[in-house]
């Protein structure tokens, strides 16, 4: 009987990572070789920032919640609170600009995400969806803001000053990003 040689799983992972990097670079996509190298949870807030830019508030909130779970701090709670505020700001912008179809899309983004939702999506009127989302977001943001303040009031106040300046500088789209000073 001939014995089969089974390569080490770390060698396989390295080979797959190298192949993936080559494919991405060939496609013109730049990658950061240090991304996530020292900490497996590194990147949650970076992902939240990308999801915000895409308008994917569900995943932005989930990424922030993962960061809070992995590294609870005033900063992580403030970031989560900010994402709730960004969702609320975007929702208010849609309502003021009479973009109710986009409100429905936002509701679906928050309420769905499983394959079975394609055949049985939740139906809700856009104006009702706005009220449901805003009430829930306001409650959750109040809770996470209070937690951030309990952990470190000075850090929380500093970060809120930065986000206030960010909002003032970008009144028409601040909800699609985070303040420049937030390097996480």
Per-residue model confidence as pLDDT tens digits over 49-108: 999 999 999 999 999 999 999 999 999 999 999 999 999 999 999 999 999 889 988 888
Position 17 pLDDT exceeds 50: no
- Cα–Cα distances (Å) from 20 to 13, 26, 31, in that order, read 10, 10, 10
Q: Is residue 25 part of a domain?
A: no
Q: Is residue 94 part of a domain?
A: yes
Q: Are 64 and 137 in contact (CB under 8 A)?
A: no
Q: Is residue 184 part of a domain?
A: no
112-154 pLDDT per residue, tens = 776 665 566 666 688 888 888 999 999 999 999 999 999 999 9
Crossing angle of the two packed helices 74-96 and 57-70, in degrees rounded to 10: 170
Q: Which residue range(s) make up the domain with 58? A: 40-176
Q: For residue 111, what pLDDT band results from cuts at 50, 70 and 90?
A: confident
Q: Is residue 16 part of a domain?
A: no
Q: Is residue 128 part of a domain?
A: yes
158-179 pLDDT per residue, tens = 999 999 999 999 999 999 999 9
Number of residues in the chain: 184
Query: Exposure pattern of 53-67 as b/e (b: 16+ CB <10 Å)?
Result: eebbbbbbbbbbbbb
Position 16 pLDDT exceeds 50: no
Q: Is residue 145 part of a domain?
A: yes
**Has this prediction a pTM greater than 0.85?**
no
Number of domains within the chain = 1
Query: What percentage of the chain has pLDDT greater than the value 70?
Result: 70
Q: Is residue 26 part of a domain?
A: no
Q: Is residue 130 part of a domain?
A: yes
């Amino acid at each position: 009987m001939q014995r089969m040689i089974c390569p080490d799983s770390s060698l396989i992972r390295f080979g797959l990572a190298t192949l993936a990097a080559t494919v991405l670079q060939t496609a013109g996509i730049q990658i950061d070789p240090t991304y996530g190298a020292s900490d497996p949870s590194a990147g949650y807030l970076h992902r939240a920032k990308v999801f915000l830019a895409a308008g994917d508030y569900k995943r932005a909130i989930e990424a922030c919640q993962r960061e809070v779970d992995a590294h609870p701090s005033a900063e992580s709670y403030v970031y989560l609170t900010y994402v709730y505020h960004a969702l609320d700001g975007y929702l208010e912008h849609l309502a003021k600009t009479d973009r109710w179809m986009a409100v429905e899309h936002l509701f679906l983004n928050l309420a769905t995400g499983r394959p079975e939702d394609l055949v049985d999506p939740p139906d809700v009127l856009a104006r009702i969806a706005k009220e449901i989302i805003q009430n829930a977001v306001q409650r959750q943001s109040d809770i996470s803001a209070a937690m951030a303040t309990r952990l470190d009031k000075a850090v929380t106040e500093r970060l809120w000053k930065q986000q206030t300046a960010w909002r003032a500088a970008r009144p028409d789209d601040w909800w699609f990003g985070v303040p420049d000073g937030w390097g996480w």
